[in-house]
Structure 1
Amino acid sequence: MIELGLFGSLLGGFLAMVLIYSVSNKSSLKTDIGIQSQHPFVSTIWQYAPRFILNLSYTANATGILQKGYQKFKSGTFQFARGQGNVLVLPLSLLEELAAVPPTIANPHAALEHDLLGHYTGLDLILESRIHHSIVQRKLTPRLDLLIPAMETELRHAIERFFPPVDAANWTEFMPYQCFGRISASLTGRALVGPDLCRDEVWLDITFNYTENLFRTIVILRLFPEWMQPLVCVFLPSYWNGKRYVQMAKRLLRPKIEHLLDKPITSSPLSFDPATSNVLHWLAEMAKGKDRSPDTIAHIEVLLALASVHTTLLRMVNVLYDITADGQQLLQELRDEITEITESKDGWTDNSYDKLHKLDSVLRESQRMSPPTIVGMKRLFREDYIFSNGLLIPKGTYACMPTYAIENDPAHTQNPDTFDGLRSYRGFKSLRDKKEAAQFLFTSTPPTALNFGYGKSACPGRFFAGRIIKMLFVKLLTEYDFKFLPNTQRPSNLVVHEFLFCWPWQKMLVRRRQNAVSVI
């Protein structure tokens, strides 16, 4: 599991940092990525502490630092320190303008690559190729409804393969994180690599374990200053394991990719064939220049798997935790909604997922309280830029917005500390205009809910993620009962740096519902 090695890794990294910095002169606060000193500095400890102490403080308490800064400087800018340099936090009032700044000036992909240490994790490919972004937008999202039957078939197979065997008479213990990890890999794999490879055990191992090793490498390396990272990484098993999984993917996918690259392109822009409508085929069709290489296409597939499997898994687990913790009333509301659609005149169809407004609301509320990251709208400025209010952002500045603090501001969300599964459902139903009501949907990107980004750079895969999460829970809620083990409850999240992980070691109980009727 991703988090299993983090505690030991953090401890070992901390001891090494103490030794290294005890003989280092790099103890003063530096603004080494261009941030001007005019911006207030925020820390939960002494702001002139050695940088490695400030970085450790951020590693362990990023939420507290961002929340403190947001409360004090909500309408202005502030900065905080982390190992890779200081970060400038922008106010929500600049959202529209920031979203409109061209990537040649303020680049979101460069910021992501910077966060995820792309030159050590292989994620620097996102700076060289953007074909995967185009394929998700132009190929995958427009065909989501057409993919539903194939995805439902894959879900049934994955449940049978990875879910514990259960009956209605007895409760069975299982670990949702492990179980959903394989289910997520299978479902996303169906869209990424097609019906055969998505069930391949090697592919499933690659997509699940690559993510584990990647985040372990990131967490450890970011404990160290950048000048030390090239030395530290060679001693990390996770670093070498990550490279090994990428090579495994290239060996596994290369024969298929070479075959596809040799075939003439015959599909029309709107054609659909369940056997060939997957990202692997679309990459072979659309790739040009340097992208038209088996190794590059295989590498892109691994990065797409990282983006889809990991974030979808976190959302799946957190939604189950939240529904179970909330109690029977919410659970019954969700089941009644599914039953109402199933028993309607049209019955259950491929379009039924768009009618699950209560389940959609739960997904959005769960993500509000447990987002994948607590900051967003991240940009690395490649040129000087002056906002309309006169704010100068020097070249080299890393800037972001405190998205978690914004969405959980009482001014934007009433009683933000309380999980209210139908919060967005009530907002959706309160508006007659469908376009206006859409701001309350899981996949929407309103100004105060920025987990998927905003504007042209908003995550193109959010529609796919929302669809497969709903698909899973339609099956789980109609066919199974869940509860926490005695004397246990919904676990707290684990926040490391700006990343938020669900608690992976939680065990739960599951049983089949009596007289359960399969909807899908």
Structure 2
Amino acid sequence: MFSTLLQSVYSYFWLLPLTGVAYFGVSALLPGKKHANFPSVGSWDGLIPAFIHNVIFALSAASLLKRGHEKLISNNEAIIILPHALLKELAGLPVTVASPQRALERDLLGQYTGVSLLVESQLHHSIMQRRLTPRIPLLIPRIERTVARAFEKHFPNADEWVEIQPSKILGPILAKVAAEALVGPEFSHDPTWVDISTHYTEAVSYFGAGLTLALVPEVFATAAALRILPTWMQEAVAPLLPTLRAVRRYLAQAKRLLSPRISDLIKKNDVSHHTDDSPDETNMLAWLAGQAKGKDRDPDAIAQALVLLSLASVHTTLLRVVGVLYDVTAAGQDLRRELLDEIYMAAMADGGWGPDSYGRLRKMDSVMRESQRLSPPTVIGMKRVFVRAHTFADGTHVPAGAYACMAIHAIENDAAHTPDADRFDGLRSFRTWEEEREKQMAGKSKASAINSSSGNPFLFETPTPTSLNFGYGRTACPGRFFASHAIKMVLVKLFGDYEFRFLPGSGRPPNVMAHEFMFTSPDQKILVRRSRKALCPF
């Protein structure tokens, strides 16, 4: 795979002769952003051009980050890796000092991909917290029906082993799952929306960060090259890329599809109050249209925001579902049986299978958490662009305009936090939870939070000081609760109704790195057949 990828990278080197002279000429005149008060890794200023630093970072960010939690790494500009000890202080900084939205804008090249809209408006954040999360139980039966129909359409109904490409086949399924919460039943099965939410994600990922849902090496190589280039060169090269046109085309299609409905809802909200819990209006589209004020009442802007939310939802859930599928298959039948027994027991509990059943899947939570520990979406987190200079309590000073973050993958996999960290142990968190529960019952622990879904530190969606993939504190990802339920629904269907194994002579594929981003091998194939005894309860 990597030899193919390198060949693809070489095929895009036609860009370099066009820009090489300009690069070295202009770079000589432009001062680089340096932070002399920080030690550095992967930087040999004065000896190697910044362009080469960027290539080094793109290819080996994870290994560089393992060399220290307080370092400076070059990639377009200096990235300040803050020490873990500053976590709570960093998480508590207001956005007027340190902005996570501006960091996201930088990561995904917001001026090209449309992500800059999320910097301008935070309405979606509060609506996810106050509207979507409390209504997840209302959405679950509808989403379960969507999952069942999507599997019937996209998954092979074969009693014998057949090959599938998990990333490709699960992408449309998870796009439909996300659509139920984002745009509702009116659009969730609309082929235009499913195409937009799937392929816009691919286009932005190729274009912005080298992440893909279905790897096309040539496009991936173009994206990797763009992130490597300095900002001023990105502006010169971007118009040459077909992915930029694709991004703009998908955004325009989304506006044509959604804006008329959004406009109608805005007008309806102006003349009468409408319920949030009617089936057609229990979704982000209706809530955004109903709650938008001032400049946020632009139907096109709301449509664009929904595409961006789809980007986050589809990408996050797809990476985790595929990662768990690979990890459980590699772990063997014992772990799969543990999960199936848990699903069966949850379905047999008082009241049968229902929205509350997902909270009983503690072993599945553990597997999801362990899979994400080893295969996170990114090896850095708590990303901030400092709007103003700030000095932390320990004296660490971050200048205005600096990009700072924490090495979350290195933190979570530090031997001090996770023994035997290189090994996948699906029930690691589950055993710890049981131990803590036994201590609590014996009166030896004050950890009463383990009985609370909102505070249980062993649930997939719960951030802790050493598990930071969803952020930490008040800026933690507001969509993590929905993502957790969506992933579980698809995994219950996968493991309940199907069996999997790797192709002969192969095993769990290695993860692929691009810059700071990590993703499961998207071109991997695996064998699947229907289980002789289906156990999925929906």
Residue 101 of structure 1: which of 93, 96, 102 is its match? Answer: 93
Matches for 1:125-204 after TM superposition, within 5 Å: 125-167=117-159, 170-204=160-194
Q: RMSD between aligned alpha carbons?
A: 2.2
Tell me if 1:243 matches 2:248.
yes
Q: 1:267 aligns with which of 264, 268, 274?
A: 274
Paired AA for residue 366 in structure 2: S
CA–CA distance in 1 between the matches of 2:319 and 2:107?
19
Q: 1:324 & 1:464 partners in 2: Cα distance?
A: 25
Moved more, 488-497 or 425-434: 425-434
| Alpha-carbon displacement from aligned partner over 1:335-366 (angstroms, at most 9, x marks no partner) | 11111222233322220000100001000001
1:434 positional shift: 4.0
Q: Which amino acid aligns with 1:151?
A: I
In structure 2, the CA distance between the partners of 1:294 and 1:145, relative to structure 1 (3 Å rule), is: same
Report how many aligned residue pairs link the two structures: 506
Structure 1 Cα separation of the partners of residues 242 and 5 of structure 2: 13
The amino acid across from 1:56 in the alignment is V
Query: Are the structure 2 counterparts of residues 279 and 288 from structure 1 closer, same or farther at C-alpha, using a change threshold of 3 Å?
Result: same
* Partner SS, residue 81 of structure 1: strand
Q: Which residue number in structure 2 is paired with residue 64 of structure 1?
A: 63
Q: What is the distance in 2 between the residues matched to 1:12 and 1:223? A: 16
CA contact (8 A) 2:415 2:421 kept: yes
Is residue 86 of structure 2 the alignment partner of residue 79 of structure 1? no
Contact kept in structure 2, 1:384 and 1:392, CA below 8 Å: yes
Whether 1:454 and 2:472 are equivalent positions in the alignment is yes
Q: For residues 352-407 of structure 1, what are the alpha-carbon distances to aligned partners after superposition, in whole Å with 9 as ceiling and x for unaligned?
A: 00010000100000101111111001111111111111122111111110001101
Distance across 2 between alignment mates of 1:493 and 1:455: 29
Counting aligned pairs with the same residue, the percent is 46
Alpha-carbon deviation of 1:234?
0.7
Map 1:222-371; keep pairs closer than 5 Å.
222-264=227-269, 265-267=272-274, 271-371=276-376
Which stretch shows the higher mean deviation, 469-478 or 366-375?
A: 469-478
For residue 430 of structure 2, the aligned residue among 425, 433, 444 is: 425
User: What is the TM-score when the length of structure 2 is the normalising length?
Assistant: 0.90
Deviation at 1:516, TM superposition (A): 1.9
Contact 1:41 1:47 (8 Å CA) reproduced: no
Report the Cα distance in structure 2 between the residues aligned to 1:10 and 1:315, rounded to whole angstroms.
Answer: 27
SS in 2 for 1:228: helix
User: 1: distance between equivalents of 2:523 and 2:349?
Assistant: 40
Do 1:485 and 1:509's aligned partners in 2 also have CA atoms closer than 8 Å?
A: yes
The answer to whether the aligner puts 1:121 opposite 2:120 as a matched pair is no
Cα distance, 1:17 vs structure 2: 4.1
- Aligned partner (choices 435, 449, 459) of residue 449 of structure 2: 435
Matches of 1:326 and 1:30, distance apart in 2:
52
Aligned match of 2:36: 37
The alpha-carbon deviation at position 47 of structure 1 amounts to 7.9
Distance 1:358 1:449 in 2: 17
Change (3 A) 1:160 1:31: farther
User: Displacement, 1:229?
Assistant: 1.4
The aligned runs of 1:341-490 (5 Å cut-off) are 341-432=346-437, 433-436=447-450, 438-490=456-508
Q: How big is each residue's C-alpha offset from its partner over 1:132-158, in whole Å with a ceiling of 9 and x where there is no partner?
A: 111111110010111111111111111
SS in structure 1 opposite 2:344?
Answer: helix
Question: Closer, same or farther in 2 for the Cα pair 1:45/1:38, shift >3 Å?
Answer: closer
Any idea what SS the aligned residue of 2:457 has?
helix
Distance 1:334 1:502 in 2: 22
1:230-287 CA-to-partner distances (Å, cap 9, x unmatched) read 221111000101100000101111221122122135235xx52222201111111011
- Taking a change above 3 Å as real, the CA distance of residues 470 and 509 of structure 1, as seen in their structure-2 partners, is same
Query: Structure 1 residues 9 and 109, CA, compared in 2 at 3 Å: closer, same or farther?
Result: farther
Equivalent position of 1:495 in the other structure: 513
- Classify the secondary structure of the residue corresponding to 2:42: coil
Q: CA deviation at 1:25?
A: 4.4
User: SS state of the match for residue 199, structure 1?
Assistant: coil
**Structure 1 position 118, deviation (Å):** 0.4
SS in 1 for 2:423: coil
Distance in structure 1 (CA, Å) of the matches to 2:36 and 2:144: 55
Provide the C-alpha distance between the structure 2 equivalents of 1:8 and 1:119, rounded to a whole number of angstroms.
29
In structure 1, stretches of 5+ residues that fail to align are: none
Q: Tell me: CA distance 1:135–1:365, structure 2 relative to 1, closer, same or farther (3 Å).
A: same
Say if 2:43 and 2:73, in contact at 8 Å, map to a contact too. no
For 1:110, which of 93, 102, 111 is the aligned residue? 102
Structure 2: state its 5+ residue gaps: 209-222, 438-446
